A = this chain, B = another copy of it.
């Protein structure tokens, strides 16, 4: 399926881009045997992900005038890599459910999950090597450096769980590595395929990184302060798990020792009901104005991401889809 994107053809909007991408994914043929290696890969890839990273990659390519068609394998590589990280994370976190279905380790067992995850990562390079040959070395460099940083982020995340004290700065560094770098890499690969200048590639990376951080901070905020409708699950999960979110770490850095004790111990206090635990911790957050601080940071990073788009060496209207993408990601109307 060849996608026509000649000069006088209008740019594809975000929904059109997603349709093109889903069609591309659907025609990828994985081997049938051994079944227990490839079936979990198909299962993961068709699990109803939001395709945020490939969409971003394709939109960045298009913004700089690149052919969406040429960028499809790289977009699929990034999506495959993302799903590989989820698969191995589900083993490490002992997660039984992913996107409302049984996780791969829950369904096929841990060994199959390790191995099919490995195959997914290799397959992401199989897709990546299909980019135009003149850009392969550069794109491999971006992809590989991004992939290593994601592993570093996951390791810091596991390390932090065992540590008593983690600073807000350390946390921001961790989520940058674990989640934002993948958005940054996707954007940069797209821009590279669209023949963006090196400077614009760096800027688009920064745009995606700031957006990713805003998104992750908002995720933390909504988990405690959103509505069930916004969140798609029960409010307060992070608090009940005693997770070191940005809310928790901000609060810890500001609170007096008495309140710190509340933050540390409430989640495992067997005498309290879930509602009481949540209310108790949120009361401390509120006392130190934590939600406002985090909200400010989200807005700051979101605005920074959008303002980077103003500085790109392309016509303003070519950045429109990237603005829409950013607003959609954050669930914002304007």
Contact = CB atoms under 8 A, between A and B. Distances in A.
Interface stretch (A144-152, A198-206, A235-243): A144-152
A318 interface: no
A294 interface: no
A255 interface: no
A114 B133 contact: no
Interface residues of A, number: 38
A36 B163 CA distance: 14
A119 B136 CA distance: 21
Contact of A37 (B92, B123, B155): B155
A86 interface: no
Contact of A125 (B112, B118, B144, B154): B144
B148 A126 contact: yes
Interface in A2-45: 31, 33-34, 36-37
A122 B136 contact: no
B155 A36 contact: yes
A104 to B, nearest CB: 13
Interface string A88-99: 100110000000
Contacts of A122: 121, 144, 147-148, 151
Instruction: Find the residue from A91, A125, A152 having the highest chain B CB count within 10 A.
Output: A125
A141 interface: yes
Nearest to A30: B148
A34 to B, nearest CB: 4
A262 interface: no
A118 B84 CA distance: 10
A121 B147 CA distance: 10
Given A122-B121, A125-B140, A140-B125, A34 B156 contact: yes
A141 B122 CA distance: 11
A137 interface: yes
A89 to B, nearest CB: 9
A159 interface: yes
A155 B88 contact: no
In order of increasing CB-CB distance, the 10 nearest A-B pairs are: A37-B155, A34-B155, A129-B140, A119-B151, A92-B111, A122-B147, A126-B144, A133-B137, A125-B144, A122-B148
17 contacts: A33-B152, A34-B159, A36-B155, A36-B158, A37-B152, A37-B155, A88-B118, A91-B111, A112-B155, A115-B155, A119-B152, A121-B122, A122-B151, A125-B125, A125-B144, A129-B140, A133-B137
